[in-house]
Amino acid sequence: MHPEITALYGARFGIAGILSEDFIDLYRQPEATLKAVARTPSSALGTSRREVGAAELAQALDVFRAHGIRYFFYNGGNGSMGTAHQIQAIASAAGYDLQVIGIPKTIDNDLLETDHTPGYASTARFFASAVRDIGADNRALPGQVEVIEILGRNVGWLAAATSLARAEPDDAPHLIYFPEQRLPLDRLLSDIERIFRRLNRCVVAVCEGQLDENGEPFGADVRSGSRGSLAMNLAHRLALLVMERLKIRARSEKPGLLGRACTACISDVDWKEARRCGNAAVSAAIRGETGKMVTLLRDSGAEYTMETGLIGLDRVAFLERPFPAEWRNQDGNDVLPQFRDYAAPLVGTIERHRMLVDAPVSKSLNILHTEES
């Protein structure tokens, strides 16, 4: 470590911990603890959804001064990069020497200027595996529509990743929608009905933030918070509409926060890249960089390799990267193959479920096929 760096503090619950001087001494953590915590989902330091204004920014600077904090690493999504950018600006205006480096970390994959963000690939792996497994259940007990709610308020990156569940064209998911596009209820229902009539089963991947043609969440219950309103039970609401309008048996599953916390579905590439981003942030700070975010830059070769880069925080702060329109099909209900090329190396292999080979036994009787109950 750099000779002038004599302490490493972690802020409890993000910006809230900075404002209340709630720090934990990371140099006093046993090596084994740090190793184990690195394999633990969610933030070991805690996190926060707190929004900060001018008074809090000034207060943060006071805290940095009081503790002699000269290097500030902040990880998160575009909101956190916005806060980091503001802190860098206020420190600079006050003539306080502070190196501010942002470290990308969001399951939403919605930061600009980076190929992808740490956190995305593991959550993508969870949802792709979940859709594959629920798809196997739906195949074994057909006659039912499954609506699976995927994390994602505004962007369809995680919904898109469920496409990696498919080994064969008729595997789940049969329909994938993108919150970047409004989805008329009639179109959703006709899509579902078409698939169901053909396969007698249907798995739909839909984001928690999906809106209908009126910009409303299909009549779902809504919770309003500091980050805007969000449907609480969207997939359930859609399953109800399928039953009411199409008279088809339907249910919904909402793994919800398990998607971002599931220990069993960590992507190995994701885990390694998260560490690399942290390492790159420290190197950059020691080199004297400030006001930058670490980025991941994909090399152009056939094999998947990454470099890290740096970009100005102003280029990513409070900006959102939608799922690319050119990777959606024309009907807006599936991804195009380019997305698989992008995502598969990050997410890793989703092992296909094996099926029995088709070896029917000749019928001996002439039984009228009775209706499935």
**With contact defined as beta carbons under 8 Å apart, do 204 and 174 qualify?**
yes
> 79: exposed, middle or buried (C-beta count within 10 Å: 0-12, 13-18, 19+)?
middle
Nearest to 252 by CA among 287, 288, 202: 202
Strands (E), 40-139: 71-76, 99-104
Nearest to 153 by CA among 58, 238, 217: 217
CB of 133 to its own copies, least distance (A): 4
Catalytic (active site) residue 108: yes
Q: What is the SS3 string spanning 168-202?
A: CCCCCCCEECCCCCCCCHHHHHHHHHHHHHHHCEE
- Tokens found for residue 280: 């790159």
Comparison of 142 and 309: residue with beta carbon closer to its own copies: 142
Dist. CA 233–CA 60, nearest whole Å: 37
CB of 85 to its own copies, least distance (A): 20
- Tokens found for residue 179: 């919150």
Comparison of 163 and 295: residue with beta carbon closer to its own copies: 163
Comparison of 183 and 350: residue with beta carbon closer to its own copies: 350
Comparison of 107 and 311: residue with beta carbon closer to its own copies: 107
> 6: exposed, middle or buried (C-beta count within 10 Å: 0-12, 13-18, 19+)?
exposed
CA 367 to chain centre: 51
Q: Which of 108, 171, 191, 270 is catalytic?
A: 108
Query: Would you give the DSSP letter of residue 363?
Result: P
The backbone torsions φ and ψ at residue 193, rounded to the nearest 5 degrees and listed phi first, read -60, -40
Comparison of 221 and 299: residue with beta carbon closer to its own copies: 221
Q: Any bridge partners for residue 148, and if so which?
A: 205, 253
The Cβ of residue 60 has, within 10 Å, a number of other Cβ atoms equal to 22
Comparison of 59 and 92: residue with beta carbon closer to its own copies: 59
Catalytic machinery residues: 108
